[in-house]
Structure 1
């Protein structure tokens, strides 16, 4: 499976809607992949909120060598409070990871996978429930890392993939971020089906499966009937070309599902 999400929401609006004390000036991204930097929001000094860049792929502090540890991009809500990899972050490292939308792959005929883009119907952003921790290397280097909390899918999203991320409403931000006063069991009361928040999902270009491809065209809907079973329709340039069409871009192979390590 190919885990991806987008953050192309104006930084000024994100600052206004989340009340961040130290807003980051981030460029629009349409194909964010694991191990890349993502924006995270956590509780800051004087009960405020601060933003920072973290590595997508949580590494618990007790890990000796991250290269020998599985990439944890997700934490299942059913077990995150108890699993050794996540329970400390559930108590002390809860954060919010903003996303304009996320991609999920649906299996089709012949095990072909079609990516779908899922985003808020109102044009806003998802405030994804995240878990964050810091890993310190042998030479004193410190790396902040994070994973996204996930839950079983509901509604039409369940027809695409069996799981979705956990997204927060604005009035739930403080409850989720207040690790000083809110225990993890109470914090988990924020979990509700993402389908109930009002979302839109549609098929998009399969090129999103390559980390080398970036741009707003990745979140444009495609017509699967016009595309046929071999993928999206060719570009106007290819259709106009009289010569032999160029080879399609080589896609990264989807990662095999691995429990806690799979996408939403």
Structure 2
């Protein structure tokens, strides 16, 4: 389901990779979850990081709890939904990352967490849409949603969905407001499986309050109950 991801690189490396100013509020993250603040690069401000809430909140839904159900947008639904189509044309963003988690079902209730990352351990950009909304106090706030597509061969062993990872050579076009709709849609495809790797990680990732470097380290595959499995 792609409900967690990481941006664990130091600020200097992230700034160099995305050619964007990284503010002092940036810090490496190992367990970014929906409803939390996370850095994005928007088409309105492509030279710097902005910090938005993960969980798209439309102008008609200023209740933050609703965002928990709106943190993912399916790529194939964008051409079919007027609101998503408008967002794609007007409010795109890159979501800097260097890995994401997903859970492989190994029994009726058991799931083993896996960490997926670029083969050379390089940061990458995921495709997103952003929204501006007004909270109950009248303050302007911002949120974003992660676009997902069908999983590639590597990720499909754990999930049928994965984040859209924008090819580095196409990131500028993604942020360019003049890019045609058809070209934008053509970018919403699975990242090549041969350019990725994965390994099982600790079930501690299930706790959204736990955010530490050991989360991305390889671990013996075990489910959320602590039961070890032979599946890998």
TM-score scaled by length of structure 1: 0.78
d(CA) in 2 for partners of 1:137 and 1:224?
42
Q: Do 1:60 and 1:86's aligned partners in 2 also have CA atoms closer than 8 Å?
A: no
How many equivalent pairs are there? Answer: 226
**Cα RMSD, aligned residues only:** 2.3
2:62/2:134 contact within 8 Å kept = no
8 Å contact kept, 1:120–1:197? no
How far did residue 210 of structure 1 move? 0.7
Q: How many angstroms apart in 1 are the aligned matches of 2:94 and 2:66?
A: 27
Q: For 1:163-242, what aligned pairs fall within 5 Å after superposition?
A: 163-179=161-177, 181-196=178-193, 198-224=195-221, 230-231=227-228
Find out whether 1:40 has 2:37 as its counterpart: no
Q: Distance in 2 between matches of 1:69 and 1:53?
A: 16
User: Is there any run of 5+ residues in structure 1 with no aligned partner, and where?
Assistant: 233-264
The offset of 1:188, in angstroms, is: 1.6
Kindly provide the CA deviation profile for residues 201-242 of structure 1, in whole angstroms up to 9, marking residues without a partner as x.
1111111101122211111111339xx97149xxxxxxxxxx
Runs of 4+ in 1 over 3 A off after TM superposition: 64-70
Which residue number in structure 2 is paired with residue 53 of structure 1? 51
Please name the residue that 2:11 is paired with.
Answer: 11
In 2: Cα distance, 1:67 partner to 1:219 partner: 28
* 2:110 alignment partner in structure 1: 112
Distance 1:86 1:66 in 2: 19
Aligned with 2:130: secondary structure? strand
Change in Cα spacing, 1:64 to 1:219, as seen in structure 2 (3 Å) is: closer
Unaligned runs of 5+ in 2: none
